[in-house]
Amino acid sequence: GDSVTQMEGPVTLSEEAFLTINCTYTATGYPSLFWYVQYPGEGLQLLLKATKADDKGSNKGFEATYRKETTSFHLEKGSVQVSDSAVYFCALILSGGYQKVTFGTGTKLQVIP
């Protein structure tokens, strides 16, 4: 079946450090890929997306590139801030009759001053 694998957290970084959160997927079709962010006490918010191979999604300084050859969609940010502390979820959506989303288990990021 379809699945998303994320690196286990928590990830603890100092402010202004470089961030990478790994995400790989397996899918029977040709998925669209997403990163969601969940701040403490809130629901999930869409952070960025990519719908085809080699697309780069970007938002708020975060980037991720859809790599079909390695089935990956790693999240990166050049300089993290304390306000980026949250749980990050990688997800995929397949085309089809209904929109079933497959989520990874989430990676908690803690940024310390």
Partner 1 sequence: DVKVTQSSRYLVKRTGEKVFLECVQDMDHENMFWYRQDPGLGLRLIYFSYDVKMKEKGDIPEGYSVSREKKERFSLILESASTNQTSMYLCASSLVPPGRNQPQHFGDGTRLSIL
105 makes contact with partner 1 (CB under 8 A): yes
26 makes contact with partner 1 (CB under 8 A): no
Query: Which residues does 60 contact at the CB level (< 8 Å), separation at least 6?
Result: 47
Applying CB under 8 A, among 7, 11, 27, 44 the residue interacting with partner 1 is 44
Applying CB under 8 A, among 15, 78, 95, 112 the residue interacting with partner 1 is 95
In the shown chain, the binding pattern of residues 57 to 86 toward partner 1, with x for contact by CB under 8 A and - for none, equals ------------------------------
32 makes contact with partner 1 (CB under 8 A): yes
Query: Which residues does 5 contact at the CB level (< 8 Å), separation at least 6?
Result: 23, 24, 25, 104
* Residue 20 burial by Cβ neighbours in a 10 Å radius (0-12, 13-18, 19+): exposed
Handedness of CA 91, 94, 49, 47 (dihedral sign): negative
**What does the binding site for partner 1 look like in residue numbers (CB under 8 A)?**
31-32, 34, 36, 41-46, 49, 51, 89, 93-95, 98-101, 103-106
